[in-house]
Chains A and B, each alone.
Chain A
Amino acid sequence: MKPILSPVANTGRKAPTGIVGFDEITGGGLPHDRTTLLLGGPGSGKTILSLQFLAHGARHCREPGIFVAFEESSERIVGNAESFGWKLAGLRKSKLFFMDAQPMSDLVQSGDFDLSGMLAMLEAQIKKMKVRRIVFDALDVVLALLPDSAAKRREVYRLHEWLLAHKLTGLITAKAGGDEVSSISQQTFGFMQFMVDCAVILSHSVLNGISQRNLRVQKYRGTSFDENESPFLIGASGLEVDSTRTQTRINAKVSTERVSSGIARLDTMLGGGHYRGASILITGLPGTAKTTLSGAFAEAACKRGEQTLFVSFDSDPSEVVRDLNSVGIQLARHVKNGRLRLASARTITGSAETYLVRIKTLATEHKARCLVIDPMSTWSKSGNDSNTHSVAERLTDWSKANGITLVCTSLLDELSSRSAGDASLQISTLADTWIHLNYLMQAGERNRGLSIIKSRGTAHSNQVRELILSDSGVTLADTYTAGGEVLMGTMRWEKEGAERVETEVAEVAAKLKRVRLDAEEAELEVRAKAVQVELVAKQVEKALLVRTTESLEGALSRGRSRMRELRGADVAIPNRRARSP
């Protein structure tokens, strides 16, 4: 039995476009030796996409290309693309050919015509340059000149056949009002969409005043692809498409490695720190030290020697450095040695999608292993709320797939903060660890409390800790519970003081008792000694007595026997003797 091949394995060759994200969506690029149709409205980025495709092929794939410009003059196209840094001028010598095919303004059209002349010319050029890729930009312009739809169809077929016969990777762009929107040439492009092997639609819309660019692969024969609309933006070096990379997400390596949160006590609370590649959400009211916590994380990451990106939506990079310096988090030197990149997202305008793509590009450029976004909740303000959640989701997916540890903060509104679970972006369900910061009002004080609401796959402390900021850093302290209330700040300090005194008193008392016992012991010991000495004396006395008695008796008996000898008396029976008077 033949093994079932995965959809990626049995696909034909791909022609990489070099466009960030696009090659991921299509599993490698445009279909090689096949034709792709690129549809989109005016200013949707068709020309840029096709130029990037050609430039990448010419520079990196040894596939020279031809650009047939039906609309704009090649000089203008090259000039406009200058800012992307593709250095087209250098490629134009032998690897990239521009053919100006704009109908002249004074051109008179009389009756039917065809494109076979152009194809003949292109053929000559293809042979000369060994061309592998070709772009027909704005084919609709020339098709519009054809007298009837039959002629349009005929020319499109001619072009398609020609492309296939020459085994060229073709890209035909045409203006269409985006997705399934009626246009004059709708019919023509309708059947073109059936004909080609791959169709890509670019759209540009404005939602609540926020510009949104989307790319969608409508069809791609013989390959699996991401069917959803993917946001993209026209960045400094061309198109940047945001791919969700659902496939890589599944294959993402799950790490059991722990990374420090930057605060020793917090690491203990989390059972050793965050998992590498985890997403951590820090929520809290304004001023609850969310930035400080994320700053501590960034500093710890830099100290471990990991590339870190810190995106701030609130303040400028220099402000972040200064502000965090006041709580003992020194970021300046890490910025200087290139470990840490501080980016101010205030300069980015656009939708949440734009932010996402920008952040991803920045992170990729910086090879970031740790990423901080402070605060993420700004996104929901910049336009469509509906999008923001999916953006947040994609960011966490993306960072997971790349093993990037993500810390994002989210501001909770004073009003909606009644329930801490109501994080505006709903990232709370996506985050692996959710740390909540809040104020505790007590005895005229506001103190910061930290609690871990959840932490996946980790035994974590469920105690509220007090967060103390000082110029030497961030520390966590135990809180005291008394009478069902958590004590913090001064009250905790007082309680601590009272406890300290209590301990001291107890210690002194114990010491005193010990001394007393020592004395008693000593006394008893002395007494025991005295008795012992007395005992010895008595024993000696007794022994002496015994000895004296023995010697006396000895002397007596000796004297008696001597006397008997002297007398010569016979042995008398002592008893009788004794009885006789």
Chain B
Amino acid sequence: MSRHARFKFRLYIAGEAPNSTRAAANLGALCRDHLPDRHEIEVVDVFREPRRALADGIFMTPTLVRLAPSPVRRIVGTLSQTEAVLIALGLDAVPA
């Protein structure tokens, strides 16, 4: 993995649900801390775009999908357990 690879995220949320709000906040903080200036976050609200979520096979909210770098990774939940999330996203090796 390139040290300077760009990270592309898509976060599926369910409107104003507390879990989803928390996940969005956690993701924002995570990117600020670990991936400054090299990340993209797309937020999909399943209430507004149910067909898209269906096509993507998302049924638990919130779900974070790492689209790039490959392979695609999925994390379900509020993203609050930072250590585990970092490992899952492959960010543990990335210097802060």
Which A residues lie at the B interface, using CB under 8 A? Answer: 99-101, 103-104, 106-118, 120-121, 123-125, 142, 145, 147
Contacts and interface: CB of A to CB of B under 8 A. Distances in A.
B23 to A, nearest CB: 8
A116 B61 contact: yes
By secondary structure, the B interface counts as mixed
Contacts of A121: 46, 50-51, 53-54, 58-59
Contacts of A107: 74-76
B19 A99 contact: no
- Most chain A beta-carbon neighbours within 10 Å: one of B22, B60, B73, B77: B60
B50 A110 contact: no
Contacts, number: 105
A117 B74 contact: no
B14 A114 contact: yes
Given A110-B85, A115-B59, A125 B80 contact: no
B59 A110 contact: no
Nearest to B47: A120
Contacts of A106: 73-74
B53 A142 contact: no
B50 A112 contact: no
Given A117-B46, A117-B58, A124 B80 contact: no
A124 B77 contact: no
A142 B76 CA distance: 11
B60 A111 contact: no
24 contacts: A99-B59, A100-B57, A106-B74, A108-B74, A108-B76, A110-B75, A110-B78, A111-B23, A113-B78, A114-B14, A115-B59, A116-B17, A116-B61, A117-B14, A117-B46, A117-B53, A117-B59, A118-B58, A118-B59, A118-B61, A121-B50, A121-B51, A124-B50, A142-B60
Contact of B63 (A117, A125, A147): A117
Interface of B: 12-15, 17, 19, 22-23, 26, 46-47, 50-51, 53-54, 57-63, 73-81, 84-85, 88
A117 B12 contact: yes
Contact of B46 (A101, A113, A120, A145): A120
Nearest to B61: A117
Contact of A111 (B14, B22, B74): B22
B78 A111 contact: yes
Contacts of B84: 108, 110
B11 to A, nearest CB: 11
B73 A108 contact: yes
Nearest to A151: B19
Contacts of A125: 50, 54
A120 B50 contact: yes
Contacts of A145: 60, 76
- Most chain B beta-carbon neighbours within 10 Å: one of A112, A115, A123, A145: A112
Contacts of B17: 114, 116
Contacts of A123: 50
Contacts of B54: 99, 121, 124-125
- Most chain B beta-carbon neighbours within 10 Å: one of A99, A101, A111: A111
B73 A112 contact: no
Contacts of A118: 58-61
Contacts of B51: 121, 124
- Most chain B beta-carbon neighbours within 10 Å: one of A100, A103, A106, A108: A108
Contacts of A108: 73-76, 84-85, 88
B60 A117 contact: yes
A115 B57 CA distance: 13
A116 B14 contact: yes
A101 B47 CA distance: 17
A310 B74 CA distance: 61
B74 A112 contact: no
A148 to B, nearest CB: 12
Nearest to B44: A117
Contacts of A117: 12-14, 46, 53, 58-63
A468 B85 CA distance: 89
A112 B46 CA distance: 17
B88 A113 contact: no
Contacts of A113: 19, 60-63, 76-78
Contacts of B57: 100-101
A142 B46 CA distance: 19
B75 A109 contact: yes
A111 B59 contact: no
A101 B54 CA distance: 10
B5 to A, nearest CB: 19
Nearest to A142: B60
Nearest 6 Cβ contacts at the A-B interface: A117-B61, A111-B78, A118-B59, A111-B77, A124-B50, A108-B88
Contact of B88 (A103, A110, A114, A124): A110
Nearest to B58: A117
Contacts of B78: 110-113
A398 to B, nearest CB: 44
